[in-house]
Structure 1
Amino acid sequence: MLAEDLTRSLLDTLERPDLRTIAGPLDIRLESTLPIPFRVADTRIRLGRPTLDHPELAATILRHAIELGRLRHDTPEIDAPLAVFTAARIAALFHDLDANPAPAPTLPWLAPLRQDTPPDPETLARLWPLLAAALPDASISIDTETLSRRLARAWPHLGPTESLMAEGGDARLKVDPQTGLNRYGCSHRPRPWAITFASSTASSLSERGFGGAENARRTMVAALLHDTPPDDARQNIVQAARRGIARCYSLDNPEQVLLAASGTDCELAVLAIAASHADGRPITNILVAPDETGSGVPLAAAGRHFAADAANGHSVGKGQLIDGFPQDTRLIGIPIRQDDGTPRSLAEIDAECIASIAQEIAQGRHVVLHQLDMSKTGLIGPSAACLHTLQARHAHHLDIVVDACQARLEPTRIRDMVARGIMVMITGSKFFTGPPFCGAVLLPPAIVTQLAHATLPAGLRAYAHRGEWPRLHPNHPLDDGANLGLALRWHAALAEMNALAACPPDHIRTTLQRFLDAGRTAIDNHPDLTLLEPPKLDRPPIDGRPVWDDVPTILSFLIRDPHQPHQPLELEDARRLHRWLNADLSPWLAGDCAARLCHLGQPVPVNTPELGPDRLAGALRLCAGARLVSGEPSHAGLNHEARLTRELADAQQTLQKIALIREHWDRLHSIDPVPHYAPVNPERKLS
């Protein structure tokens, strides 16, 4: 490889959005005469000759240098040997995460420091001269026995932010090393070259979100290196997330925030809370549009394991009753669409909810009613007026919970619901574009008080820790500790939530309205697409001011089948198209849009007259998220108008790529391209 190619490779590494975000204030330059990988002094990092000679290790070397540089800059009081081995441990785990296929290690410290067990004193003594060379004073002596003990306490809690965020959920969070993406088709690293309108499902992090999680991780590492007990260091990050969510929703007390790994985990928490104050009555759980919420929600709503693995790492039996949950829970589903796929009226949904609740209460049951706000395709039910009526009529026999996991509601409106005694389920991973698997239940004060005396199901310990819940009865079943991955994901989401909160409401509304108008026009004008008309959202003004949550932000549409144009793509084919959109197709197809990575909301199954009652179409979703308003750091230098114009052009290009895929359907079907974190050719990265 020519020298200029090596330099270009190194520059590509230096420009990586994840490494650039982590580097912060550090000044990083190349010093080709330096014979060691790097040297750190104050805020300066100088990369040496080995970085040029081994481009396959450049990212690992740079990550190592940045981690050590930040530790020395941010926490200069930390002993140098402790900082050096901490930085190297994190870089070793980053190497395994980043390099695929991993090259044969040429850094001798990689293998011993990637192990689950910390190095013994002899290994520390052997590695110290190699690692200490990065410091200005490489002659520092070390007490290996003391260093080994201190590292042992922190060792299990050290790792790169992007790998820690993949913990504390289920298998859907795990990143495929072959693609760099999880099962949602997104990454815990910034992916600014991808076109992203996927906020109804899950989004890759922006640099802002990644930075929010990284700051929280760095705070925890500093606490660990100051000998804070590991459980306390992790717990501090969890409590900071709860406080941040409480501030965003103007809640009086962070005890009103119950963290859960996902919206489906929220469902388990709600059922446990309802059962704790039902006075022995059996529970009836009424779900609106269970087919348009999370796939595991019906199981969780019945108190059953909804996956093969739980958030705390337990292997569980999917579909089995969770220990301690009532086995006589009755599930009632209220459809939100007619048999032909058209939306039902709110009046119909309200009437069915009212009748079902009256019937269940008459049978001596305690009812949990879910208002869905909103479904995967943007529908809502029952109405707010219906909730008011039911709450007044059945106060002691009814719990109302609003499934606002899409989070497409003004925070003030959610605060008012909680003040009226309604539980609200939210996530930071939909509209706010945080990483997947960050859920929470916002609790009315009366429920917080009641939980201090409640009995909870023993099986909840597979899904939650004590610190993620409000204060509980001393005999609660939850284990101590904290779900660090969940907390870091929330810190990423909070960075986006705070950025949106800084925008004036009229600016938010205008931006979302422009997205709605442009997206609707683009889909209507596309010959291969059929828009599923978004519902009118009846959101009254708040304190006399205009609101932004009355603007639909999910545009669902069907795609004409390339072989049978009179009917829409069926669900499985829509899923294929969704994957291919997120893949670089330029090795096989020509055209500017072929290389663009386009991530939309996952297909939703819907009935259509063309396919009849026995076959389901797949509706893709073009969605506005909070970043459409607040902008992404990768857009720095563009004013709002220029940035929004480019975003809307990206939406158009996504629709053009759909047309390209339809045109070459058979060829792509035989190839079945796979999405990747970045384009096949790095030069095609567009931001």
Structure 2
Amino acid sequence: MTHTETITMKKKVISTAELKQLVCSGGDERLLLDPLTGVNMYGCPPGPVEPSTWVHLSSSTATPISNGGFSHLAEIMTTLDETDGSDPVDERLEAIRQELFNYIGITSVDADIVFVPSGTDATLQAVFLARICLPRATTILRNLVLAADEAAGRVFNAASGFHFNAKNIRGDDVIKGTPIPGLHGPTGDKTIECIDVSFEKCQDEAYIEESVDRLVNHSGDTHVLLHALDTSKLGNRTPSHDCLNRIEQKYSKEALTILIDACQFRMSPWRIRDHIKRGRYITITGSKFFTGPAFSGAIIVPACFRAQIQQAPVNNYMTNELAAYSAISDWPQSWTNIRSCLNTYTTVLWKSNIGQFLRITAAMFELRRYSAIPSSWREQFIVAATAEIRAAFSSVPDLLEPLENKTRNSFFDEFDEEFRHLTIFPFFIRQPNKVKTFLNLDACKELYQKLQIPNETNPITVVIGQPAAIVVNGYPDTVTTFRFSIDARTISDAFERAHGAVPVKTDILQSRLRLIIKKIADIVNTNDNQS
């Protein structure tokens, strides 16, 4: 089954193999399957896995699709019926927009939603939107990316208006790290700049405010796009809400736009509404906390930008290379100028990206399950699961050392609801028989791969948060962290097993932790004996 246009199906039963092929289509090389292992770079296959042989606490990175989610997609595919000349995927995406509005507690009057393959694509398209809203083509868009070392690794290139991978979502080859024609304006001059600030430096919020001030006042023809992080792949938020409020009060909307990178989607509806009310872009994905398949993202665009976007000279910025990063139905139906412009590039883009639609649909299946659970029960489970994970760390102090952010609680409050509690737990793996010495990045990458390979001693596949090299105050040089994560599917499964009874039970999580830690220990000790 090829993906060259929107697929029309009328009451057709789709095979498992065909559905798997579609689920991993419409993305860049990160979704490509290794021919030997059958999994993508995140360790996930295109279909559901057998719970008795797979263990995953990896929602900070990616999670295999659930059995329920996959069955839901098979059912959806039988109902995609083009009866009146309209695009059925386009209509379904409009319905998903409405469902997201309902979850957040807003209406289409308050915001618009743009669908994107990944969180990195969300950054790229947010830069595009910020660019077309500038008053002049010559205005310099200066991106200040906070805690870039705790965001996705490709964000800096996307924020710079550059290709961030070797392929686009159609599988076409592009040159990573080179400017995308059009984004930098009709003259091709460099009108987008990007500056990154490490998470460590972001601990000094005066430094953040000074950095914004320097960029705003760099010249009279500058607009700053400030990328704030909520929540990072290590579970952190930067800057604080007070800091963001001070910055917004100091500068006009003509000088500053704020983008909230919430791609982990560990954010309460109240917090999302507050960001929208304050006129901040928000990028989200359904593949982290909500455990949809990788590559199911969106940008929430506050209504205060609607008139500017709908009146923007899109043709001045659109090119073949930029158009190929999206499909027409990704964009709201009311944004007729963008859709009309993209319609002239149909040789390089799709009307609808069926793979992306399916992945978003699977994520919404999980969001629906989660949102049906009483908020008090969800919070009780997260608190109990946190205690379980901390107990697991304490049980193997010579193997695992948790990374604790002691200031985190000061950045969260009751309006964050259950997400004021930790749901991502970073940790280091100690080198055997060495004090305060941890596995380096290469060793961690090797261990990450070995965890995914069943063997006679440990016949299970283990997927946890990918190793990430970071700089942490109090630790020598660069250290590499893994992550355990609590996710919506784990909570939904536990709720359904218990029929909502309290107190909540975390016995399944406890069992998973034991299996994972045992396999980590076996690999580390085997490597040590062989060295």
2:253 pairs with 1:379: no
- Secondary structure at the residue paired with 1:375? coil
**Alpha-carbon distance between aligned partners in 2 of 1:409 and 1:648, rounded to the nearest angstrom:** 25
Say which is worse superposed, 370-379 or 257-266, in terms of deviation.
370-379
Task: Check whether the contact 1:377–1:555 (CA below 8 A) recurs between aligned residues.
Answer: yes
The residue that corresponds to 2:100 in the other structure is 245
Q: RCO higher in 1 or 2 (8 Å CA, sep ≥ 6)?
A: 2
2:220 equivalent to 1:367: no
**Aligned residue for 2:3?**
none
**Which whole-Å deviations, capped at 9, do the CAs of 1:110-161 have from their partners, x for residues lacking one?**
xxxxxxxxxxxxxxxxxxxxxxxxxxxxxxxxxxxxxxxxxxxxxxxxxx32
Q: Which moved more, 1:630-639 or 1:477-486?
A: 630-639
CA distance in 2, matches of 1:178, 1:636: 39
1:464-509 Cα shifts (integer Å, max 9, x gaps): 1222113142652464601111111011000111111111111111
Gap regions ≥5 residues in structure 1: 1-74, 98-159, 339-343, 670-687
Q: 1:482 aligns with which of 352, 355, 358?
A: 352
Deviates more, 1:622-631 or 1:529-538: 529-538
Q: Equivalent residue of 2:420, what SS?
A: coil
Aligned length: 495
Which residue is equivalent to 1:466? 328
Task: Tell me whether 1:539 sits opposite 2:412 in the alignment.
Answer: yes
1:382 deviates by: 0.8
**Matched AA of 1:171:** E
1:309-328 → structure 2 map (5 Å cutoff): 309-326=167-184, 327-328=190-191
Equivalent position of 2:70 in the other structure? 210
Query: Which of 279, 295, 312 is matched with 1:437 structurally?
Result: 295
Residue pair 2:377, 2:504 contacting (<8 A) in 1 also: no
Q: Which residue of 2 aligns with 1:329?
A: 192
Q: Which moved more, 1:636-645 or 1:194-203?
A: 636-645
The CA deviation at 1:665 is: 1.5
Matched residue of 1:458: which SS?
coil
Matched, 1:168 2:26: yes
Paired residue for 1:265, among 118, 121, 128? 121
The CA distance in 1 between the partners of 2:274 and 2:227, in whole Å, is 17
Point out the more displaced range, 647-656 or 465-474.
Answer: 465-474
- Paired residue for 1:277? 133
**Residue 462 of structure 1 aligns to which amino acid in structure 2?**
A
Other-structure match for 1:529:
400
Aligned-partner SS, 2:195: strand
Q: What do the CA deviations read for 1:152-171 (whole angstroms, capped 9, x no partner)?
A: xxxxxxxx322111111111
Root-mean-square deviation (Å): 2.6
Counterparts in 2 of 1:312 and 1:635: CA distance versus 1, 3 Å: farther
Say whether residues 1:411 and 2:280 are aligned partners. Answer: no
Give the gaps of 5 or more residues in structure 2: 1-8, 185-189
> Larger deviation: 316-325 or 198-207?
316-325
CA distance in 1, matches of 2:241, 2:126: 20
Task: Give the secondary structure class of the aligned counterpart of 1:547.
Answer: helix
* Equivalent residue letter for 2:198: P
In the alignment, which of 192, 201, 213 is matched to residue 358 of structure 1? 213
Residues 293, 626 of structure 1: alpha-carbon distance in 2 compared, 3 angstrom cutoff: same
The letter for the 1-side match of 2:176 is K
Deviation at 1:241, TM superposition (A): 2.8
Aligned residue identity for 2:298: A
Aligned-residue offset at 1:292:
1.7
Q: Which amino acid is 2:341 matched to?
A: H
Residue number in structure 1 paired with 2:187: none
Deviation at 1:337, TM superposition (A): 2.1
Identity fraction in percent: 28
- Residue 419 of structure 2 is matched in structure 1 by 549
**What is the one-letter code of the residue matched to 1:323?**
P
Q: Classify 1:196/1:268 alpha carbon distance in 2 versus 1 (closer, same or farther; 3 Å).
A: same
1:288–1:334 contact (8 Å) kept in structure 2:
yes
- What is the rounded CA distance, in whole Å, between the counterparts of 1:167 and 1:242 in structure 2? 22
Question: TM-score scaled to structure 2, two decimals?
Answer: 0.87
Change (3 A) 1:250 1:328: same
Letter of the 1:540 counterpart: D
Q: Which of 351, 354, 362 pairs up with 1:492?
A: 362
Q: Structure 1, residues 417-448: CA drift from partner, whole Å, max 9, x if none? A: 11221111000000111110111010101212
Paired letter, 2:37: T
Tell me by how many angstroms 1:449 deviates: 2.7
1:293-325 deviation digits (Å, cap 9, x = unpaired): 111110010000101111234332211111111
| Alpha-carbon offset, residue 278 of structure 1 | 2.1
Deviation string, structure 1 residues 637-682 (Cα, Å, up to 9, x no partner): 997768621222211221122111111126789xxxxxxxxxxxxx
Q: Does 1:451 align with 2:309?
A: yes
Deviations 1:78-129 (A, max 9, x none): 7xxxx7xx55xx44xx5xx5xxxxxxxxxxxxxxxxxxxxxxxxxxxxxxxx
Q: For the residues of structure 1 that align with 2:296 and 2:311, how far apart are their CA atoms?
A: 27
Correspondence 1:660 to 2:525: no
Q: Which residue of structure 2 lines up, in the alignment, with residue 48 of structure 1?
A: none
- Whichever residue aligns with residue 202 of structure 1, its letter is A
CA contact (8 A) 2:424 2:486 kept: yes
Map Cα deviations across residues 212-249 of structure 1 (whole Å, 9 max, x no partner). 333332221xx15xx554x7133233333323322222
Q: 1:179 offset after TM fit, Å?
A: 1.9
Give the aligned partner of residue 574 of structure 1: 444
Listed as ranges, the matches of 1:16-35 within 5 Å are none
Q: Does 1:603 align with 2:441?
A: no
1:509-520 paired onto structure 2 within 5 Å: 509-520=379-390
Question: How far did residue 512 of structure 1 move?
Answer: 0.6
Rounded to whole Å, the distance in 1 between the matches of 2:530 and 2:116 is 39
Task: Work out whether residues 263 and 284 of structure 2, in 8 Å CA contact, stay in contact via their aligned partners in 1.
Answer: yes
User: Aligned pair in 2 of structure 1 residues 608, 633: CA closer, same or farther (>3 Å)?
Assistant: closer
Quick one: which amino acid aligns to residue 392 of structure 2? A
Query: How far, CA to CA, are the matches of 2:170 and 2:312 in structure 1?
Result: 22
Q: Which amino acid aligns with 2:21?
A: S
With over 3 angstroms needed to count, the CA separation of the structure-2 counterparts of 1:400 and 1:569, relative to structure 1, is: same
2:506 corresponds to which of 641, 644, 647 = 644
Looking at structure 2, the residues matched to 630 and 260 of structure 1 have their Cα atoms a distance apart, in angstroms, of 26
Specify the alignment match of 1:682 in structure 2.
none
Q: In structure 2, give the amino acid aligned to 1:541.
A: E
Q: Which residue of 2 aligns with 1:8?
A: none
Contact 2:149 2:470 in 1 (8 A): no
The letter of the residue matching 2:383 is Q
Query: Could you say if the C-alpha distance between residues 296 and 445 of structure 1 is closer, same or farther in structure 2, counting changes exceeding 3 Å?
Result: same
Q: Give 3-state SS (helix, strand or coil) of 1:663's partner.
A: helix
- 1:611: Cα distance to partner? 7.8
For residues 529-551 of structure 1, the C-alpha deviation after alignment (integer angstroms, 9 at most, x for no partner) is 11100453333324xxx821110
SS of structure 2 residue aligned to 1:395: coil
The whole-number CA distance in structure 1 between the counterparts of 2:497 and 2:181 is: 49
Please say if residues 561 and 569 of structure 1, whose CA atoms lie closer than 8 Å, have aligned partners that are also in contact.
yes
Determine if the alignment matches structure 1 residue 390 to structure 2 residue 224: no
Tell me the distance in 2 between the aligned counterparts of 1:487 and 1:505.
Answer: 28
Change (3 A) 1:491 1:530: same
1:425 matched to 2:283? The reply is yes
**Contact 1:336–1:379, Cα closer than 8 Å, also in 2:** no
Q: Which amino acid aligns with 2:287?
A: S
Does the aligned pair in 2 maintain the 1:293–1:375 contact within 8 Å?
yes
Is the CA contact 1:175–1:182 (under 8 Å) kept in the aligned structure 2? yes
Matches of 1:612 and 1:414, distance apart in 2: 37
- What are the superposed Cα offsets for residues 33-74 of structure 1, whole Å, 9 maximum, x if unpaired? xxxxxxxxxxxxxxxxxxxxxxxxxxxxxxxxxxxxxxxxxx
Structure 2 counterpart SS, 1:210: helix
